[in-house]
Structure 1
Amino acid sequence: MESLKNGPVKYYTEKFPGIPYEPAKKNIANIDCNDTGKASGARLKLFFPALLRPDEMIMILNLFLVKRQEEGIDYDETFAPVARLEAIRLFLAFAAHMNFKVYQMDIKNVFLNGKLNEEVYVAQPPSFVDPKFPDHVYKLNKALYGLKQAPRAWYDTLSTFLLSKGFVRGKIDSTLFLKKYPKHILLVQIYVDDIIFGSTNPKLCEKFELLMKSEYKMSMMGELTFFLGLQIKQSEKGIFINQGKYVHEMLKKFDLTSCTPMKTPMAPPLTLDKDSKGKSVDVTLYRGMIGSLLYLTASRPDIMYSTCLCARYQAEPKESHLTAVKRIFRYLKGTPNLGLWYSKDSGFDLTAYSDSDFAGCKIDRKSTTGGCHLLGGKLVSWTSKKQNSVSTSTAEAEYVAAGICCAQVLWLRNQLQDYDIQLSKIPIYCDNTSAIAIANNPVLHSKTKHIEVRYYFIRDHVMNGDIELHFVPTEYQLADLFTKPLDVTRFNMLISELGMLNPDD
């Protein structure tokens, strides 16, 4: 067996001398299955993560029973919805706005609760064969860990239960469940086995807890403090989200704990390119650093542009690219606890800012779309992404960016309808008058006729009164943060305007 002192958890299926199989018995006892007599069934394997302790003894972390499957025979549909990060941030922003606490619960043996629609047979697990019926197999009534359809079966089971108890599923977010009362509302957001919930009436939260305990084995985790890697601090003044613990783990992982802090993640002007003649660096290291940074953007919009820019060079990273990535880490070293603040005294009006650079990518000359969406002046959604096609003018680049921003605005508007918040004429601020004119007027001339049809849908929503495009001077364009590197003064001004705070200050 491979030593695991300095490595990650490994998974084994072999039987080692001295392995305690009591965890397996407990796992099997949780499985609801019926003996169906003789039938052909797939084999089961015991599957356990293990660590080597300092005394060289094997430590079993858990024990799972898994089954191999064939598509079309053992399963058909496997998709199970999970909550988008924007939906989680919107949920928390609404909780802060309405001044109620958010709680968390965890369902035990979650996948074993999912009811199967397919007929699935499995062989008896090794070391647990019934001596009286050695050739018999099990028919699964409920899902098993490792089944392809287990997440979907659990979601279907839970959603059916909630709907039967008077909850309503979100119109576009199928992981959001609501129960509305004359003067109050109960909100439930699910992410597989993790459930967060809150209500304008605390007694409704207590009733929901009792309801879930009556149906499932679960543990109540109290007020929400940690969810999907986000550290969440709730107070009487609002809700603060950050990933400070994760930042420290990243710095330690990549041996950058003693690096010199920087005041911005990337310095202007933009000089990063393919660097064909540069010295190559470790691809695995570079991609690992980029992946860690991308995960951090869940609460750190301030590094969104620089991280996405560096991510474009993962195929053949050079020293110049690695230096740029390390600068982001050096910036994080100085601002590990920076995060998003949702105050209870802010409004809940939706506004958006749309921006684009022009031919900023030095490889293919494509432009970068930047956008941010705020509720009551507090950031809930943002984007920084290279456009799919080359723009021939700044007006075209800005118009394409406005169309992408409009799509996200409409998603947020529809999501807010579930919260009983009806919005129209939502303002989108753009710093290009030509792009605004194209969106407001059904003109077609030589400079715009080649723009893809899908970007023109913004005109329909302008005409219908769903959105309004407004001009904003460049110095007040908040989406600048997502399209270009900025100097220290402007960078700090923008992150402050977007509602980012450092609790250490």
Structure 2
Amino acid sequence: MDISNAFLHRDLDEEVFMVLPPGFQSDRPNQVCKLTRSLYGLKQASRQWNAKLTSALLSVGFRQSNADPSLFTRDSNDKFIALLVYVNDILVASGNMTLIQGLKDMLNTAFKIKDLGVVSYFLGIEAKLSSDGLNLCQRKYALEILSDAGFLECKLARTPMVPGSVLTRGVGTPLEDPGCYRRLVGRLLYLTATRPDIAYVVHHLSQFVSSHTDVHMVAAHRVLRYIKGSPGQGLFYPAATTLSLKVFSDSDWASCPETRRSITGFCIFLGASLISWRSKKQPIVSRSSSEAEYRALATTACELQWLHTLLHDLHVLMSGPAIVFCNNKSAIAISENFVFHERTKHIEIDCHVVRERVAQGLIKLLSVSSLNQIADGLTKPLSAPLFHGFVSKLGVQDLHNPTYRGGGVLEE
């Protein structure tokens, strides 16, 4: 659903004055208008609208999620309905169409809404619902990026980044138009909402938005040549799956040549569905690979804690602890050993959240070989065979195969 003129529905809590609008004639000088309603362009407008909508939903029995304030749920007599808000765009989900229709009538009475039917396109994300499950992709958005950059007819690349390559500052010639690199990286960042396969390289490229050169632009163009091979690739959520959390956590120790910081990577599956992933540089330097892996586990544990709260608000109850796979046995030993010793004295207290979550039964740590570590592709550029194995395990799907404008020549 979409709410028309959302920002005009809320009264102001404070006095706001504005200059006379263009074309308004007055005989008295220095006159201003006092606003009695919210108006587009006001700094308060979005917050006032959110307060208005929240108040309307809470008044009819909805509960605002503590994990995500944009999520509202209502459960009565085993009838559950969930509502997700982004400014004036609303997604509603329920197994009972009567509840959805009742919500539409209520919102249409309080505000004027547009009923857009079954979700097919939302915030640039295409949704395809079938009996097998839900597919999310950003094909139209990806093709717009390729078209604006002039890469619709480019040669294809098998991987988004050259294996073993390392980008640094100060190498290459500064660009004449620095804004073009920033715009491209910004658009690629939004594309990672349904493309976890490019999460690492886009994270790496975003570190150079303030000091980029032609070398960084060439690396960004390789991402476009990779996307050209499968612009419709996206996430697939099967309808038949188990409601258990399976997690892969990994770290690439001291991989940044300038700061010697490590990269954290994790991916979280609900059954066979990938629901959360991250590729991010750690805030401080780790003294060993075990410490780097332990910090990655701490970040993963915090994400799992948030997901448990969110799933609880959605009335999804976990039957057991989340299974966390880590390929560093030393980090697992630190997490399960409650005795401080020389190897852990220098590690900050907040990292030991992993021990607490293990003791609480929220997570269970298991060792996995590096070959089967799915999160490895979120910490470093992989060779083509390893990268395609990584992508195949993410649960992605391309509904628009064959690729746009046919195939192309693959380059290493």
Could you state the TM-score of these two structures normalised by the residue count of structure 1? 0.76
Which residue of the partner structure matches residue 203 of structure 2?
308
Unaligned runs of 5+ in 2: 403-412
What whole-Å deviation, never above 9, does each CA across 1:69-113 have from its counterpart, x for those lacking one?
Answer: xxxxxxxxxxxxxxxxxxxxxxxxxxxxxxxxxxxx111110001
Deviation of residue 123 (structure 1)? Answer: 4.8
The 1:287–1:137 alpha-carbon spacing in structure 2 relative to 1, beyond 3 Å, is closer
Which residue of the partner structure matches residue 349 of structure 1?
244
The partner residue of 1:144 within 36, 39, 59 is: 39
What whole-Å deviation, never above 9, does each CA across 1:180-205 have from its counterpart, x for those lacking one?
Answer: 12232111111111011021111211
CA distance in 2, matches of 1:280, 1:128: 49
Which residue of the partner structure matches residue 159 of structure 1?
54
Moved more, 381-390 or 464-473: 464-473
Aligned partner of 1:458: which letter? V
Which residue of the partner structure matches residue 85 of structure 1?
none
Aligned partner of 2:150: which letter? D
Aligned partner of 1:290: which letter? V
Deviation of residue 270 (structure 1)? Answer: 3.1
- Does residue 482 (structure 1) correspond to residue 387 (structure 2)? The answer is no
Which residue of the partner structure matches residue 228 of structure 1?
123
Aligned partner of 1:285: which letter? C
Deviation of residue 124 (structure 1)? Answer: 4.1
What whole-Å deviation, never above 9, does each CA across 1:352-373 have from its counterpart, x for those lacking one?
Answer: 1110001111111111000111
CA distance in 1, matches of 2:136, 2:387: 20
CA distance in 2, matches of 1:208, 1:349: 31
Aligned partner of 2:271: which letter? G
The 1:135–1:357 alpha-carbon spacing in structure 2 relative to 1, beyond 3 Å, is closer
Deviation of residue 325 (structure 1)? Answer: 1.3
The partner residue of 1:461 within 357, 360, 379 is: 357
CA distance in 2, matches of 1:429, 1:112: 50
- 1:268 aligns to what SS in structure 2? coil
Equivalences for residues 22-61 of structure 1 within 5 A:
none
The 1:277–1:217 alpha-carbon spacing in structure 2 relative to 1, beyond 3 Å, is closer
The 1:129–1:216 alpha-carbon spacing in structure 2 relative to 1, beyond 3 Å, is farther
CA distance in 2, matches of 1:430, 1:341: 25
- 1:345 aligns to what SS in structure 2? coil
Which residue of the partner structure matches residue 15 of structure 2?
119
Equivalences for residues 47-446 of structure 1 within 5 A:
105-129=1-25, 138-274=33-169, 276-282=170-176, 283-423=178-318, 424-446=320-342
CA distance in 2, matches of 1:450, 1:390: 12
Count of residues in correspondence between the two structures: 399
CA distance in 2, matches of 1:134, 1:342: 63
CA distance in 2, matches of 1:180, 1:118: 36
CA distance in 1, matches of 2:18, 2:398: 54
- Asked whether the 8 Å contact 2:237–2:272 carries over to 1, the reply is no
CA distance in 2, matches of 1:175, 1:480: 32
- Asked whether the 8 Å contact 2:238–2:272 carries over to 1, the reply is no
The 1:366–1:123 alpha-carbon spacing in structure 2 relative to 1, beyond 3 Å, is closer
Deviation of residue 431 (structure 1)? Answer: 0.7
CA distance in 1, matches of 2:62, 2:181: 46
- 2:136 aligns to what SS in structure 1? strand
- Asked whether the 8 Å contact 2:159–2:384 carries over to 1, the reply is yes
CA distance in 1, matches of 2:17, 2:186: 39
- 1:222 aligns to what SS in structure 2? coil
- Asked whether the 8 Å contact 1:180–1:186 carries over to 2, the reply is yes
- Asked whether the 8 Å contact 1:270–1:484 carries over to 2, the reply is no
CA distance in 1, matches of 2:22, 2:168: 56
Deviation of residue 422 (structure 1)? Answer: 2.4
- Asked whether the 8 Å contact 1:346–1:376 carries over to 2, the reply is yes
Aligned partner of 1:476: which letter? N
CA distance in 2, matches of 1:297, 1:280: 26
Which residue of the partner structure matches residue 4 of structure 1?
none
Deviation of residue 348 (structure 1)? Answer: 2.2
- 1:373 aligns to what SS in structure 2? strand
CA distance in 1, matches of 2:346, 2:140: 48
What whole-Å deviation, never above 9, does each CA across 1:220-258 have from its counterpart, x for those lacking one?
Answer: 111111112111111222111111111111111111122
The partner residue of 2:345 within 433, 446, 449 is: 449
User: Cα RMSD over matched residues?
Assistant: 1.8
Unaligned runs of 5+ in 1: 1-104
What whole-Å deviation, never above 9, does each CA across 1:33-78 have from its counterpart, x for those lacking one?
Answer: xxxxxxxxxxxxxxxxxxxxxxxxxxxxxxxxxxxxxxxxxxxxxx
- Does residue 496 (structure 1) correspond to residue 362 (structure 2)? The answer is no
- 2:117 aligns to what SS in structure 1? strand
Deviation of residue 171 (structure 1)? Answer: 2.4
Identical aligned pairs, as a percentage? 38
Aligned partner of 2:229: which letter? G
CA distance in 2, matches of 1:157, 1:271: 49
Deviation of residue 162 (structure 1)? Answer: 0.8
Which residue of the partner structure matches residue 406 of structure 2?
none
CA distance in 2, matches of 1:197, 1:397: 41
Could you state the TM-score of these two structures normalised by the residue count of structure 2? 0.92
- Asked whether the 8 Å contact 1:350–1:426 carries over to 2, the reply is yes
Aligned partner of 1:149: which letter? Q
CA distance in 2, matches of 1:456, 1:129: 67
- Asked whether the 8 Å contact 2:158–2:226 carries over to 1, the reply is yes
CA distance in 2, matches of 1:397, 1:428: 16
Larger Rg: 1
Question: Of the two structures, which has the highest relative contact order with CA contacts closer than 8 Å and spacing of 6 or more?
Answer: 2
